[in-house]
Amino acid sequence: MTDSIDVTVDELAASLRTIAETEPLVQSLTNEVTINDVANLILHWDGLPVMADTPGDAGEMAELASAVHVNTGQLPEAKVEAMREAGRAANERGIPVVLDPVGVGSTPSREAVAERLLSEIEFAIIKGNYGEISALAGVEADVKGVESVGDYDEIERTARSLADSTGATVVASGVRDVVADSDSAYRLTVGHELLGSVVGTGCMLGATLAVFAGALEDEHAAALQGTVAFGLAGERAADLPHEGPASYRTNFHDAVAGFAGDAADDLDLESRLERVV
């Protein structure tokens, strides 16, 4: 755990430099809808993407990876087996595994897969929307397809409860992102509403956290800084010329690529994080 209550510009810049220097190999087992965006985003953060998601190859690749990203957006039996295989191999090596439990809470099948993964794999970071995190924590949730709907007034405490029960740092994405471990919860004021107009930005956030976790030793810091960097890139993308969601999506990839290469100068981060638990 970390006692830090904020993310400084210097800390974020140092983390970005560490990522660029180490080029973490991030193995992503994600869904076909977002696989290209996820791979590109890993690359734009200066990581190295590999989308090894079949049994046999998945476990072998996890022997080489710096971090493993598990996204349950699609659940063919072979892919679930590959997730289990890669996760166990990563645990044996002591490298971080990031879980994005897409759509959990919407169908019994998704809940069963998520429960199995949680029972077999130790996750460093669990990232989901408010509904998904609430469902995993055993709290009433309203998930329609893969989207979170409804009100979640206690999301900070819910995220902290899930962190306590799993040992993971939990990132709950929403209008205001929440990052929690068993000792604390932070509310982040970063991001832009246009991120919600592009399919797959949640998957890309999960991949971002895997990049940061693959390069940094402190997994809580990786979750906090990765979420902040992702949101700030979303804001920068909105400042670039765009005519709608498609051009914003392109801007976002460009903003990430540019963000990873700078020193995070002139950022006001002090007002962006609030400890709420």
Asked whether residue 79 is marked as a ligand-binding residue, the answer is: no
Give the pLDDT score at 269.
80
Give the pLDDT score at 142.
56
pLDDT by position in tens, the chain (length 277): 344 445 888 889 999 999 999 999 999 999 999 999 999 999 999 999 999 999 999 999 999 999 999 999 999 999 999 999 999 999 999 999 999 999 898 899 999 999 999 999 999 999 999 989 998 998 865 554 444 444 567 899 999 999 999 999 999 998 899 999 989 999 999 999 999 999 999 999 999 999 999 999 999 999 999 999 999 999 999 999 999 999 999 999 999 999 865 545 567 787 788 888 7
Give the pLDDT score at 261.
58
| Cα–Cα distance for residue pair 201/14, rounded to 1 Å | 25
Contact criterion met (CB below 8 Å) for 136 and 125: no
> What are 151's two structure tokens?
């009100």
Among candidates 233, 216, 195, which has minimal Cα distance to 26? Answer: 216
pTM for this prediction: 0.93
| Cα–Cα distance for residue pair 182/168, rounded to 1 Å | 8
Q: How far is CA 103 from CA 20, 59, 62, 145, 172, in A?
A: 32, 25, 25, 6, 13
Question: Quick count: other Cβ atoms within 10 Å of Cβ 9?
Answer: 15
| Cα–Cα distance for residue pair 1/24, rounded to 1 Å | 22
3-class DSSP state of 205: helix
Asked whether residue 271 is marked as a ligand-binding residue, the answer is: no
Give the pLDDT score at 8.
85
| Cα–Cα distance for residue pair 100/206, rounded to 1 Å | 6
3-class DSSP state of 49: strand
Q: How far is CA 197 from CA 45, 104, 200, 206, in A?
A: 22, 21, 9, 17
Question: Which of 109-113's residues contact partners 24+ apart within 8 Å by CB, and which partners?
Answer: 109/75, 110/72, 110/75, 111/135, 113/72, 113/75, 113/80
Q: How far is CA 61 from CA 29, 68, 105, 261, in A?
A: 11, 9, 30, 27
Domains and CATH numbers, the chain: 9-269 (3.40.1190.20)
Asked whether residue 200 is marked as a ligand-binding residue, the answer is: yes
Sign of the CA dihedral with 256 first, then 264, 214, and 159 last: negative
Asked whether residue 174 is marked as a ligand-binding residue, the answer is: no
| Cα–Cα distance for residue pair 87/105, rounded to 1 Å | 22
| Cα–Cα distance for residue pair 223/126, rounded to 1 Å | 9
